[in-house]
Homo-oligomer: A and B are copies of this chain.
Amino acid sequence: MTETAPRPTLEAVAERAGVSRATVSRVVNGGDGVREPLVERVRRAVEELGYVPNQAARSLVTRRHDAIAVVVAEPETRVFADPFFALQLRGISKELTAHDNQLVLLLTEGRDDHARVGRYLAGGHVDGALVFSLHLDDPLPGLIQRAGVPTVFGGRPGWSDGSRDVVFVDSDNRGGARDAVRHLVNLGRTRVAHITGALDQTSAVDRLEGFRDIMGDAGPQLVVEGDFTPGGGERAMRELLERCPDVDAVFAANDLMASGALRVLRERGRRVPDDVAVIGFDDMLPVTEQTDPPLTTIRQDIEEMGRLMARLLLGTAGAASSVVLRTTLVRRASA
């Protein structure tokens, strides 16, 4: 480990600037009541000595860290494999940086580590938390509440009853799913299947509800549970073809699963969209343009969701109340 020079002290700054300790302390903590020429002298001394105020001590008083934690309730391998998270983080990073707040991403190997994340959040290291990809039985929300840090969720938490004490940013998952299925029905398809996301997440549940809004409960064999990954989409598509070989349309709950479904359909010699029309959800570029054929999908603005989460937490988006963003149908060749 790097051996370091001793850190310059408040006393050293006071001596260099020719002022009292109390004056240095007031300037460093942004307090008023110090005359401008003295402020200037202290600032110069701080700079020359490379003085760093002891934030641990200071933050006990001010309770400000200018740092926001981001917790993705997935193993770090998934965080780096699924471009959804990179996009959401991009929006968050831009917004936090614009307000000179440090993005503190807390990575884990899985749910077993969430108690440790709760301890870090409770430890007085951040001013708030942005939490996304929650699963229903995750202990994290309880831990966060105990930690007592202001929190904005990405995606509606499963326990939220619509009251104002939980703030989240979400897309209109149910409305978007309805648009997707309606599009398939309007193309004249009659055996429309659905590959769901992980059903312990509200986004997956809401998209399934939207599917049912249009298709009713007819044909439970046409609904197969996936997990939002390309491999999950492949497995679900194989299962669907076994259960219902004459399926003529598939709505996958995200683009990654749709890309997996397309691979299986090609393997089995089904033409898309002639034999089977496929539609996804997200409009995840470049995935949607690189599939063969390019993917029709429901667009949600993932980067904007991240930006809005950060704004709600920082209080720069007006009154802090939840936001649900509209989705739009993007037509390409697959449906």
B-contacting residues of A (Cβ < 8 Å)? 1-5, 7-8, 50, 52, 54-57, 59-60, 65-67, 76-77, 80, 83, 86, 89-90, 93-94, 97, 100, 102-109, 113, 116-120, 122-125, 128, 142, 144-148, 150-152, 165-167, 312-313, 320
Contacts and interface: CB of A to CB of B under 8 A. Distances in A.
A151 B3 CA distance: 9
Given A1-B128, A1-B312, A123-B55, A108 B97 contact: yes
A310 B79 CA distance: 20
B60 A60 contact: yes
A55 B124 contact: yes
A54 B121 CA distance: 11
Contacts of A5: 145-146
A262 to B, nearest CB: 18
Q: Chain B CB within 10 Å — which of A5, A7, A77, A123 has the most?
A: A123
Contacts of A146: 4-5, 7-8, 50, 52
B1 A116 contact: no
A165 to B, nearest CB: 5
A93 B107 contact: yes
The 10 closest A-B pairs by CB, nearest first: A56-B124, A55-B123, A1-B150, A80-B86, A105-B105, A52-B122, A125-B125, A103-B107, A97-B109, A2-B151
A166 B284 CA distance: 43
A187 to B, nearest CB: 34
B107 A89 contact: yes
27 contacts: A1-B150, A1-B152, A1-B313, A1-B320, A2-B145, A2-B150, A8-B146, A52-B146, A52-B147, A52-B148, A54-B124, A55-B122, A55-B124, A57-B60, A59-B123, A65-B120, A66-B116, A80-B89, A80-B90, A97-B109, A97-B113, A100-B116, A102-B106, A104-B106, A105-B105, A123-B125, A125-B125
State the number of copies, please. 2
B2 A55 contact: no
A54 B56 CA distance: 12
A326 B254 CA distance: 42
Contacts of A50: 142, 146
Given A7-B148, A128-B1, A56 B56 contact: yes
A92 to B, nearest CB: 9
A48 to B, nearest CB: 12
A123 B65 contact: yes
A306 to B, nearest CB: 11
B2 A144 contact: yes
Given A7-B146, A8-B146, 17 more contacts: A1-B151, A2-B144, A2-B165, A4-B146, A7-B148, A52-B122, A52-B148, A54-B124, A56-B60, A59-B123, A59-B124, A67-B125, A80-B86, A97-B109, A102-B119, A105-B107, A125-B125
Contact of A94 (B80, B109, B128, B320): B109
A120 B65 CA distance: 8
